[in-house]
Amino acid sequence: MRFSEHFFLAVFAGTVAAQGNSCKTIQYAFPAETNGNATRAEAVKAAYIRSWSEYAANCFGNDDLLPVSRGCRNDLDGFGATIIDGMDTAIIMGLTNIVARQLEHAATVDFSKASALVELFDINIRYIGGMLSAHDLLASGLFPNPYNQNHVDALVTQAAKLATNLKPCFETATGLPATYVNYTTMQPVAGFPLTVGHTTYLNVTNTAQAGTLILEWYRLSDKTGDRSFHDLAEKAESWLLKPNPPPRYPGLVGTATDSNTGRFLTLDGGWKSGVDSFLEYLVKTHIYNPAEDINDQWKNFWFTAADSTQDFIALHPYGHPELTFLSELDNDGNIEWSMDDYSCFAGGNLMLGGKYFDRPDLIALGEAAAESCHVTYNTTVTGLGPLSKSFPETIESIFYGWRITGDPKWQEYNWEIFQALNTTRTENAPYWEITDVNAEYGGQPYDYLSSYYFAETLKYLYLTFAEPDVVSLDRFTFNTECHPMLIQAGTCAVEEAKRKELF
């Protein structure tokens, strides 16, 4: 036997041994090709085509469509947010003509020209995440790829150019990123000042903003070989993992830090806006590549937050023991007995981490939270949730409920929501956002259709009804904008794919 043959067999045996001993399975063991609903999936696809057609006819190249007036909005620097944010959804749906046009735009848009202030958070999750995801899907071999390969390859180079333009955000005393970069001076610019007691802080960094980088920027480093993106995200994350002062409840950190000192300025924890995706990425980036989680620091912090959630802020409204909501904390760390719509993503995240780390108690908590968020939908006049306009967080948790438990009730929940979306529009216009979920037909239409409708709302709905092996949770981990990225290690499906590549 030649040395190369011996080495090959040794590597193969080691891979199989690792798979047998420690690999993870996230998705429910669905029987093959029996769990999708093609009719419902096609209905969601038709909604994408309808909305995209209106956008393309009236606003192509702009960020967002105004569906009532058929105008356009450019709140995300005019890079074409709907195109890039919604591109991977079109890839998954097999809309090749649409994707070809989207790829051409992504390959040619000039990310060096924008309004003076460019925001780190949304540019990262929507544009960088969207391009990396589209590239992963097309490179995976799991989806048709009849496209101009120069345009496909440009997804990574364009993501790297955009991330490079955002690097000045990290030029702070601590490495906690500023909210904006000034594209004229290429200097970091802080967000809004924050007054706590009698002190006003000017260099405030939002916790979610600083903690929602590791997945995209680690993936970008893996794709480009440029470690600098990884290191910037890692340094920012390190401050959040050692909170000073410590939170009222372990792991449930507040929403604001001082980028000059690294100190937390508030104790308003929970799973709400401002801290949500920091907690979300701890488990998702561990799943992406467990080897990157040095000393299991992400895993352990997430466990701490999840356990505190279970022990202190998972509450039942008076007279409704069947409902479980996750309370916010106020600036002093006191329980507020309120929960925003963003927090409804937590049910899915708790189910995901509970399944991956074999914590049935956290799966149960996630199911209870997702069920309760669903109740806020099916008790309104429109069948849509309160607070805000086509927000996808409840739909997201329902998707995870379906993929992790295999209970078809979750499919029915998302079908109810999709049907409700259809009752709030008219035949002469695509989907829009609404002003009152407790008014017939949603009250007045709100003249705006965000890119996350294409990226998140329709993707989570479509994947609820597609066959479960389409973007399997055992092959992909999703960023906070529902952009799937290829898992690098740890799941049995990934280890099996590596084994096949050895042949």
Residues forming the annotated binding site for Ca(2+)?
Answer: 480
Tokens 């390190």 locate to: 238
Residues 342 and 130: their CA atoms lie apart, in Å, by 20
- Going by C-alpha positions, the residue among 356, 429, 369, 441 that lies closest to residue 401 is 369
Helix axes 3-22, 492-502, angle to 10 degrees: 170
Would you say 249 and 268 are in contact if contact means Cβ atoms under 8 Å apart?
no
Residues 244 and 247: their CA atoms lie apart, in Å, by 8
As given in the structure block, the two tokens for residue 143 are: 């989806």
DSSP conformational letter for 343: G
Residues 20 and 337: their CA atoms lie apart, in Å, by 45
Handedness of CA 482, 111, 285, 325 (dihedral sign): negative
Name the 3-class secondary structure at 258: strand
Residues 458 and 456: their CA atoms lie apart, in Å, by 6
Per-residue burial over 448-462, b = 16 or more CB atoms within 10 Å of its CB, e = otherwise: bbbbbbbbbbbbbbb
Would you say 363 and 351 are in contact if contact means Cβ atoms under 8 Å apart?
yes
Chain-centroid distance of CA 224 in Å reads 22
Residues 90 and 85: their CA atoms lie apart, in Å, by 10
- Which residues participate in the annotated binding site? 480
Report in angstroms the alpha-carbon separations of 123 from 108, 159, 180, 346, 385: 17, 10, 10, 23, 27
Report the amino acid identity of residue 367. E
